[in-house]
């Protein structure tokens, strides 16, 4: 099941169509931070800008950080600017 859901298998094709932002805590105990680093490297190898924002805290706690909404809004504004 994990192999079928591995984002790294689909990221190269996805990144050619849409901008990608990665948010991952370097203290995540559920999903290794190295996974996010591999995804960021895959993007970089394809010429995509580094999209990895490193946060701190437990698994899925990044959204609780004060800067999260600001950075997400900035990213989305850039993606959807006309």
Tens digits of residue pLDDT in 31-56: 889 999 998 998 888 887 777 999 98
Q: Report the C-alpha gap between 14 and 59 in whole angstroms.
A: 24
In a domain, 73, yes or no: yes
Q: How many CB atoms lie within 10 A of CB 45?
A: 9
Q: Which domain holds residue 48?
A: 21-80
Nearest residue to 57 via CA among 18, 19, 30 = 30
Residue 2: inside a domain, yes or no?
Answer: no
Q: Looking at the 3D structure of the chain, how many domains does it have? A: 1
pTM, 2 dp: 0.74
45 within domain boundaries: yes
Per-residue pLDDT at 1 exceeds 50? no
């Amino acid at each position: 099941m994990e192999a079928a859901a591995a984002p790294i298998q689909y990221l190269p094709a996805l990144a050619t169509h849409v901008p990608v932002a990665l948010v991952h805590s370097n203290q995540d105990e559920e999903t290794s931070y190295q996974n996010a680093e591999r995804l960021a490297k895959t993007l970089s190898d394809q010429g995509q800008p580094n999209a990895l924002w490193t946060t701190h805290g437990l698994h899925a706690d990044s959204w609780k950080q004060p800067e999260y909404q600001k950075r997400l809004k900035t990213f989305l504004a850039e993606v959807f600017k006309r």
